[in-house]
Structure 1
């Protein structure tokens, strides 16, 4: 008997402890596995905030799906993934590759500074939201993903190719989290 933890595009399977186990035990297992210290857990569209509450109190049963969303290290910092692409060193790069890297990092910085905090606010709120908020945020994330996808690094530009791949992965994970939350809230009758 296990639960599935969605972490970006990854699907992790964890053995389900006894139902009277506090959430902090599951959180500790996830911290050890992912090496991420600060994250939110979301189940059926609700953020799991009380680490002392039991899995039964959160209605976590075999087959449950939990979303793991990394959070900021500081309260006022934008939320970033622990798998943040590192800026490539300027040594040995062509002017064109450097310009492309700048474009990739600028797009990702925009997502992190404006869309990620908005997504986290939306996910953290237990109250229903106007469907337009979900659609708007989904559309903005999709536009960012399409802009990143349209960038075409040349085959020999390894730094730009890696940065683009990681940026696409991060934005796609945010979009997946939004889609999963919408589906979970719809299934739970919360719109």
Structure 2
């Protein structure tokens, strides 16, 4: 006799054995299929919980095309969900440190040269644009609220790049005054 077992979003077509088969045999088959321990779910048919595992399945008035709901009970172990994995703090710290290292290696020397002779308009525009891009990249790195170290690193990196941009603009403004 075919029945349908509804389990979460799945519908399982299930061929029931003879009517004198105990409910425990059905529960064991479903436990094997779902990998949920037998004691960790309830079976419900026509609004009634199928409690007595020793009772024959005929006692539950199942008929062809009946629907049985398989429902996890409160004491069931948590079922794995499709949630995204938690991010780790270290890769975020690495991103912040890599961005700051890139700024220090490429833009800091160019800024030092510009500050020594702040007369090149194109160099002022180029450095300003590159420093702003670095700030935007740092701003796009979003540490989790609980990651104090990463949040502090990002704040310090933003402060350092912003200071470089301020020095660039101050030198340019002082040159035109």
Could you tell me the TM-score, scaled by structure 1's length?
Answer: 0.46
Q: Which has the larger radius of gyration?
A: 2
Higher relative contact order (CA 8 A, sep 6+): 1
Could you tell me the TM-score, scaled by structure 2's length?
Answer: 0.50
